[in-house]
Amino acid sequence: MTPDCCGRYIANIVVGKLDSTGPSSPHLIASRVLEVANSSTISRVIQTSDEEDVVSIRESKVATSSSTVMSDLADVKSYFDNLPGVIVSLEARDLPLIESVKIMHTIQEGVKQTPGPVASSVATKLEQVL
């Protein structure tokens, strides 16, 4: 998540199944303006959302109360926090193709070396895309 031009963080919480066999349908469950962006803030957004609004809010509340899910989210944050900056680098219009390929190769190798089942799923998905 990156700040907008006013320095606010806009959180769009989208859920979907991370599956190495193919894409899943994303579902927007909440959008909020946040002062800071971290896993506990996002968890609070989910926990304080109105269950009547969307069925997935109910399911998200159960998921975010799970220590396993919160641990996985912390892993994603710590291991993949650099990706928004990398994406911005790849969007540069004057970036030579060879530099883009080097950046993608570096990211791909970094993901392969990241421990855990979440990283393994991300590595498999990245391999399929590239």
Number of domains making up the chain: 2
Give mean pLDDT, residues 4-21. 74
Q: How far are the Cα atoms of 18, 53, 73, 89 from residue 67, in angstroms, in the given order?
A: 18, 25, 10, 34
| Average pLDDT value over all residues in the chain | 78
Q: For residue 43, is it within any domain?
A: yes
User: Same domain, yes or no, for 60 and 103?
Assistant: no
Is the model's pLDDT at 35 over the cut of 80? no
Q: Which residues contact 25 (CB under 8 A, 6 or more apart)?
A: 16
pLDDT at position 70, please? 78
Residue 4 lies in a domain: no
Q: What is the mean pLDDT of residues 28-38?
A: 74
Give domain status of residue 2, yes or no: no
97 and 79 in one domain? yes
Residue pair 47/28 in contact by the 8 Å Cβ criterion: no
What pLDDT score was predicted for residue 78? 77
The pLDDT of 50-56, averaged and rounded, is 63
Q: Is residue 59 part of a domain?
A: yes
Show the domain range for 44. Answer: 9-65
Residue 8 has pLDDT above 70, yes or no: yes
Same domain membership, residue 79 and residue 58: no
Give the model's pLDDT for residue 125: 83
- 82 falls within a domain: yes
**Higher per-residue pLDDT: 59 or 102:** 102
38 lies in a domain? yes
Residues 116 and 97 in one domain: yes
Domain shared by 48 and 87, yes or no: no
Residue 124 lies in a domain: yes
Do residue 105 and residue 124 come from a single domain?
A: yes
Say if 86 falls within a structural domain.
Answer: yes
- Domain identity same for 19 and 56: yes
Q: Could you tell me the pTM of the whole model?
A: 0.46
**Exposed / middle / buried, residue 57 (Cβ in 10 Å: 0-12, 13-18, 19+):** buried
